[in-house]
Structure 1
Amino acid sequence: MCAYRQFAAVYDRLMEDMPYPDWLRFARECWERYGMPKTVVDLGCGTGSIAIPLARSGFHVFGIDLSADMLTIGQSKWDESPRQAIRSNAGSIRWLQQNMRDWELPEQVDTVISFCDCINYLIEEEDVEAAFRATYGGLKPGGVFLFDVHAPVTLKRYAEEQPFVLDERDVAYIWTCELDRERLEIEHRLTIFARDGKQDMRFNRIEEVHVQRAYEPVWIRGALARAGFTKVEAFADFKLELPDNKSERLFFAAVK
């Protein structure tokens, strides 16, 4: 999985239009269905855009990510949260630098989430299976694993619609994609120009390469079953509705 390095510094700016409220709503709807947790692992937490709202709502969250830079930014955002905006029954966050393929905690948790297509960054089947096994081991009996992935059709659409361009006052990028259709693996190449400070008109150039792979839903179900999960349900596009061949973002709920 990508360590992000320089990208961490502009990550939140580029991701500010991502549907974080929809992920949070989807998680709560699932928890109403499977059981409301107290302890949550956010696997691939990035800069905490989901972990922090959960903690502010009273959950005890473990934010796990491979990138130390992302975790540092997440910690800063949490530290700078307005104290008056945080409820008296607020939970907590513990930030941990670990690989999602073999993450572990001293105690098992009630639920694990992994949103924003983190699983797609595992580009070998054995890595996905390892992450599923680690997650199964980290959950309490009856705990639920919620995650989403880009469907194969989404990566194909990226390849067909690229290049993508952003041109704003403080940041710009050129984003191209190349798809290996046999492996359903896509390489994203980004050239980002980010302004160096609010008053400085100089721009830093950041080069990033991100590789993702899509997996067929039937294979994902099988991998979850091999990891030990006994009940698996699939949904689509932030709704508790069955996916079809037009669904772009697939969601899974796997119960231990």
Structure 2
Amino acid sequence: MRSYRQFASVYDRLMEDMPYSEWMHFARKCWQQYGTPKTIVDLGCGTGNMAIPLAKSGFAVFGIDLSAEMLSIARNKWDEPSAGGGRRDSGAVRWLQQDMRDWELPEPVDAVISFCDCLNYLTEPDDVIAAFRCTYAGLAKGGLFLFDVHAPITFERYAEEQPFVLDDKDVAYMWTCDYDEATHTIDHDLTFFVRDEGPSGSDAVYHRFEESHSQRAYDPEWITEQLAAVGFELLHRAADFKWDAPNESSQRLFYVARKPE
């Protein structure tokens, strides 16, 4: 498992079209149905695009991520006057650099979320099981675990459609994929060119950097089995931001599990 490094500096720019509002809607729908939490862990919180809105809505949030660079950006965003905790309806955020395979807090929380296919970055089955165990241990009795993962078919589509190219004025990238059908593992190789205006604004240059990331898709039934083996009660499975059950064409799979009372 690898943390984001230089990619953190352009992450929000490249992810601005991601459906964060749909993830939020899905979480709130789950909480309306199964119980609204007071304390939440955002596991794999990145630059805080879920954690900050949740805190502003009044929740006490722990943003956990492996990347110090991503957490630094999240802290700066939260500390901005327009985002910080000065509003009466705001909760609070604590940012913690921890590995999702062995995270822990002093006290259990009411809910854990892990969206944007964070668990796909665990490319060994034992690592997924370790993350489930830590999450189970970190939840209060009756606590909810909400997460999504890419289905194997999604990586097959990536492999068929790659390479991907972006050419904007401020940032450009080339993104290629190498897919192993036997293990459902995909390697993403990205080359970025990021514009730097320079001190005068008229002598812009482009800085190049490269990053590689690996993800693995797991059989949906295997995930269900591992949740049960850890002790979770599976409440619901859904797909593609809808409440409907997944089917063979589903791209993004959602799980709602609970630690029994």
State the TM-score, normalizing by the size of structure 2. 0.95
Residue 229 of structure 1 is aligned with which of 210, 232, 250?
232
SS at match of 1:4: coil
The residue aligned with 2:177 is 177
The residue aligned with 1:4 is 4
Q: Quick check: 1:56–1:86 contact (8 Å CA) kept in 2? A: no
| Correspondence 1:48 to 2:51 | no
Identical counterparts, % of pairs: 63
The residue aligned with 2:132 is 132
The residue aligned with 1:245 is 248
Q: Kindly report the root-mean-square deviation, in angstroms, between the aligned alpha carbons of the 2 structures.
A: 1.4
The residue aligned with 1:73 is 73
- CA shift, 1:206, in A, is 1.4
Q: How does 1:90-129 map to 2 (within 5 A)?
A: 90-129=90-129
Q: Quick check: 1:172–1:194 contact (8 Å CA) kept in 2? A: yes
SS at match of 1:29: helix
Q: Structure 1: how far apart are the matches of 2:78 and 2:84?
A: 13
- CA shift, 1:83, in A, is 6.1
Q: Quick check: 1:40–1:60 contact (8 Å CA) kept in 2? A: yes
Q: Structure 1: how far apart are the matches of 2:211 and 2:66?
A: 16
- CA shift, 1:231, in A, is 2.8
Counterpart AA for 1:245: E
Q: How does 1:146-161 map to 2 (within 5 A)?
A: 146-161=146-161
Q: 1:205 to 1:218 in 2, by over 3 A?
A: same
Counterpart AA for 1:202: V
The residue aligned with 1:33 is 33
| Correspondence 1:202 to 2:205 | yes
Q: Quick check: 1:221–1:232 contact (8 Å CA) kept in 2? A: no
Counterpart AA for 1:208: E
| Correspondence 1:212 to 2:201 | no
Q: 1:32 to 1:131 in 2, by over 3 A?
A: same
SS at match of 1:207: strand
Choose 82-91 or 203-212, whichever is displaced more: 82-91
Counterpart AA for 2:205: R
Q: Structure 1: how far apart are the matches of 2:11 and 2:44?
A: 14
Counterpart AA for 2:44: G
Q: Structure 1: how far apart are the matches of 2:39 and 2:121?
A: 25
Counterpart AA for 2:134: A
Q: Quick check: 1:235–1:251 contact (8 Å CA) kept in 2? A: yes
Q: Structure 1: how far apart are the matches of 2:15 and 2:188?
A: 15
The residue aligned with 2:188 is 188
The residue aligned with 2:60 is 60
Q: 1:100 to 1:84 in 2, by over 3 A?
A: closer
- CA shift, 1:82, in A, is 1.1
- CA shift, 1:84, in A, is 9.1
Gaps of 5+ in 1: none
Q: Quick check: 1:144–1:254 contact (8 Å CA) kept in 2? A: yes
How many residues get paired?
256
- CA shift, 1:89, in A, is 2.2
Provide, for residues 210-246 of structure 1, a one-character-per-residue CA deviation record: whole Å limited to 9, x for no partner. Answer: 1000001100000101111023421001111100001
Provide, for residues 15-66 of structure 1, a one-character-per-residue CA deviation record: whole Å limited to 9, x for no partner. Answer: 1111111111110011111100110000000000110000001010000000
